């Protein structure tokens, strides 16, 4: 099957399933109602709870859940072949990821916009809620620390992206001022803002910036400090000041990037030499772990990711102004991410074959030779820089066929990746603040619930993790081997909560989330056990201890969920939870 056929069939499938399966779930399973008063309206405070048009909140939600997730996952998992990667992205996003994201969003909206950790107490019990908090804190701790490093690596590989990424911040702040203070058109002025930003994208190749070593701290460490300081400021500002307008710009940037990729696939298929050069299936690539279960752990954001439940029940649930908008925001954005992950698979399965120069090499390879050189082993393809460059270079190869010089194509895609990573960093910091404040409130440590104090703890703890291994800021890499399993464990546990919520409504509604919950729980617990054995062989005591705690928590919550589920069987159904309009 050619790249063009893959793209057309996958995109058609996403549109059809949104119309059929997505709307069925919204209408029949969750019974969405425009009469419900949402948390954004009921608790409006101008900082976190802000009623927002669905197009704007879609932009925030999508750019927050996407980040580099749908890029790095497929870019490494394709080592097992493009067919299993594509099938998992397509099927997983429709019947698992979108249900997971949408379910977490609507349940949070029907529970005062509380996080999934907080409302776990309502659907299981209080002790389970504490365990859930621990998993969530660990995940966000790693995300905040690692994404500063991810952006630093992007800046190092593509220094032409630095200018535009930072200029976007004042552009977004001014856009927020125009929209919320002057009442200007969000669509018109966000397009103008995007055009201004792209002016700086095209200046990037002539204004490249490489961070020097400062006071003995390497460039990655300096960038990590700067980015975490930025995350503190950005995540304490009202969402209308920076978060929403910047994410609205980024949503348009996504449209441009995806349009260029789609046109690039079309042009390269007819007038270029675009062909699939990755193997269809490769069960035993060099040094790689088994495809089962690690395919389902490696590709997360493009199919299903526990981090999404934190965004859904963290920031998005506090901004959706009408319950009926939640389907478009929660279910629709996950399918959009699946579409992006599909384009990533095409870029690394076919685009890279149009021309690839190995690091430190002088010869440009093409065809199967290009792919096999980049993916010669698991170790060769697994680094953060390797994943990002496989996508950016493959994408640029396809875009060049449109007549855009490669230097600009690289700048466009480099800014695209770094901007989305920045959104995830900001959102993760804000969500961690919510988590810390909620937990401190439950423990009656009210002095820790303030916006600035909770954010300082979130950023400070990430800073400690980032620099625990030295001045390079790469300390989070010590825990990175745990992240995939932690993230997908969280996805399984979120699906358990959604299943229990639906079981209370009666009938067989719970199967929509229950079947995915069983699948994800099985795969992630399997992966955690395999990791435990590997960490033991490597004599990595730190990862062994943390990993066994993760395994214990996952099994505990699953057992508690099963006990609660079977106790609920046979009881009369409750009316669907809604918030009465007032």
In this predicted model, what pLDDT tens digit does every residue of 449-475 receive, in sequence order? 899 999 999 999 999 999 998 899 888
Q: What is the mean predicted confidence (pLDDT) over 81-92? A: 96
DSSP label at residue 32: -
Q: Which residues pair with 365 in a beta bridge?
A: 356
pLDDT band at 405 (very low <50, low <70, confident <90, very high): very high
pLDDT at residue 515, as a whole number: 96
- Name the more confident of 582 and 107: 107
Question: Long-range contact list for 529-537, CB < 8 A, 24+ apart?
Answer: 530/289, 530/290, 530/293, 530/294, 531/481, 531/482, 531/485, 535/481
pLDDT of 577 > 80? The answer is no
Q: Which long-range contacts (CB under 8 A, 24 or more apart) does 203-207 make?
A: 203/163, 203/164, 204/160, 204/161, 204/162, 204/163, 204/164, 204/411, 204/414, 204/415, 205/160, 205/407, 205/408, 205/411, 207/160, 207/163
- The pLDDT mean for the chain works out to 89
Torsion angle in degrees (nearest 10) through CA of 185, 186, 189, 195: -150
Say if residue 478's pLDDT is above 70.
Answer: yes
pLDDT > 70: percent of the chain: 96
pLDDT reading at 582 higher than 50: no
Read off the pTM. 0.91
Residue 1 has pLDDT above 70, yes or no: no
Contact in structure between 7 and 265 (CB atoms under 8 Å) = yes
With 60 as the cut, is the pLDDT of residue 581 above it?
A: no
Region 342-366: what's the mean pLDDT? Answer: 84
In sequence order, which ranges of 350-405 are alpha helices (DSSP H)?
Answer: 367-374, 378-382, 384-400
* pLDDT confidence band for 157 (50 / 70 / 90): confident
Residue-level pLDDT at 287: 81
Confidence class of residue 533 from pLDDT cuts 50, 70 and 90?
very high
Maximum distance among all alpha carbons in the chain? 71
Mean pLDDT of 126-152: 87
The pLDDT > 90 percentage for the chain reads: 58
Average pLDDT on 26-39 reads 90
Give the span between the Cα atoms of 69 and 302, in whole angstroms: 7
Q: Which of 464, 51, 458 is nearest to 236 (CA)?
A: 458
The CA distances from residue 358 to 89, 160, 205, 379, in Å, are 28, 20, 21, 15
Residue whose token pair is 């954001």: 301
* Residue 575 binned pLDDT confidence (cut-offs 50, 70, 90): low
The three-point CA angle 82-88-91 to 5° equals 130
Q: Which residues are within 8 A (CB) of 99 and not within 5 positions of it... i.e. 6 or more apart?
A: 25, 331, 495, 498, 512, 513, 516
- At 238 the pLDDT is 92
Residue 579 reports pLDDT greater than 60: no
Task: Indicate the burial class of 297 (C-beta count within 10 angstroms; 0-12, 13-18, 19 or more).
Answer: buried
Residue 442 has pLDDT above 90, yes or no: no
The answer to whether the CB of 88 falls within 8 A of the CB of 296 is yes
Which ranges constitute the DSSP H helices of 272-318? 291-298, 306-312
| Overall average pLDDT of the 542-568 stretch | 90
Residue 312: predicted pLDDT:
94
Residue 14: its pLDDT value, please? Answer: 97
Residue count of the chain:
582
Q: Is 211 left (phi over 0), alpha (psi -120 to 50) or beta?
A: beta
| CA-closest candidate to residue 330, choices 312, 353, 315 | 312
Nearest to 324 by CA among 45, 43, 46, 57: 57
Q: Are 141 and 432 in contact (CB under 8 A)?
A: yes
Give the residue-averaged pLDDT of 248-261. Answer: 89
The sign of the CA dihedral 154, 155, 156, 158 is positive
Residue that has been written with the tokens 């190092």 in this structure: 156
214 DSSP β-pair partners: 217
Q: Which domains does the chain have, with CATH numbers?
A: 3-568 (1.10.4160)
* 424, pLDDT greater than 90: no
């Amino acid at each position: 099957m050619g790249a063009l056929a893959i793209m057309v069939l996958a995109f058609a499938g996403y549109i059809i399933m949104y119309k059929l399966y997505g709307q069925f779930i919204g209408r029949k399973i969750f019974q969405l109602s425009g009469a419900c008063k949402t948390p954004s309206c009921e608790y409006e405070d101008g900082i976190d709870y802000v009623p927002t048009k669905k197009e704007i909140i879609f932009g925030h939600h999508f750019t927050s859940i996407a980040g580099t997730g749908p890029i790095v996952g497929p870019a490494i998992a394709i080592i097992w072949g493009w067919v299993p990667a594509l099938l998992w992205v397509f099927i997983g996003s429709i019947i698992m990821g979108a249900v997971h994201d949408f379910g977490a969003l609507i349940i949070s909206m029907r529970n005062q916009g509380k996080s999934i950790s907080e409302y776990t107490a309502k659907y299981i019990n209080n002790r389970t809620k504490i365990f859930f908090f621990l998993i969530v804190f660990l995940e966000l701790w790693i995300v905040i620390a690692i994404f500063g490093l991810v952006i630093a690596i992007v800046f190092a590989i593509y220094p032409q992206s630095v200018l535009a990424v930072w200029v976007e911040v004042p552009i977004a702040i001014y856009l927020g001022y125009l929209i919320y203070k002057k009442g200007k058109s969000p669509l018109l002025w966000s397009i103008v803002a995007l055009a201004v930003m792209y002016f700086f994208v095209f200046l990037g190749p002539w204004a490249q910036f490489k961070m020097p070593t400062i006071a003995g701290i390497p460039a990655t460490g300096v960038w990590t400090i700067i980015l975490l300081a930025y995350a503190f400021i950005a995540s304490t500002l009202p969402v209308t000041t920076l978060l929403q307008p910047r994410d609205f710009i980024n949503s348009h940037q996504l449209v441009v990037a995806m349009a260029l990729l789609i046109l690039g696939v079309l042009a390269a298929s007819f007038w270029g030499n675009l062909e699939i050069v990755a193997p269809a299936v490769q069960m035993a690539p060099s040094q790689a772990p088994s495809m089962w279960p690690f395919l389902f752990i490696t590709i997360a954001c493009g199919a299903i990711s526990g981090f999404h439940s934190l965004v859904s029940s963290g920031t998005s649930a506090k901004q959706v102004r009408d319950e009926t908008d939640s389907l478009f925001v929660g279910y629709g954005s996950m399918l959009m991410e699946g579409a992006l992950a599909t384009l990533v698979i095409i870029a690394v399965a076919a685009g890279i074959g149009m021309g690839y120069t190995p690091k430190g090499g002088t010869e440009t390879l093409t065809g199967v030779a290009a792919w096999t050189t980049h993916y010669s082993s698991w170790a060769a393809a697994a680094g953060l820089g390797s994943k990002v460059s496989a996508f950016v270079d493959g994408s640029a190869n396809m875009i060049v066929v449109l007549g855009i010089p490669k230097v600009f194509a690289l700048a466009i895609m480099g800014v695209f990746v770094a901007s989305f990573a920045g959104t995830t960093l900001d959102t993760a910091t804000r969500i961690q603040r919510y988590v810390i404040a909620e937990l401190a409130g439950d423990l009656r440590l009210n002095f820790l619930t303030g916006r600035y104090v909770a954010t300082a703890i979130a950023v400070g703890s990430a800073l400690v993790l980032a620099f625990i291994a030295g001045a390079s800021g790469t300390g989070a890499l010590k825990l990175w081997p745990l992240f995939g399993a932690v993230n997908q464990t969280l996805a399984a546990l979120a699906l358990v909560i959604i299943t229990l919520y639906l079981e209370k409504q009666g009938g067989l509604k719970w199967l929509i989330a229950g079947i995915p919950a069983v699948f994800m729980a099985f795969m992630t617990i399997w992966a955690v056990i395999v990791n435990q054995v590997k960490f033991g062989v490597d004599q990595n005591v730190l990862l062994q201890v943390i990993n066994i705690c993760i395994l214990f928590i996952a099994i505990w919550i699953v057992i508690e969920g099963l006990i609660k589920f079977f106790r609920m069987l046979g009881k009369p159904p409750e009316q669907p939870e809604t918030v009465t309009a007032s």
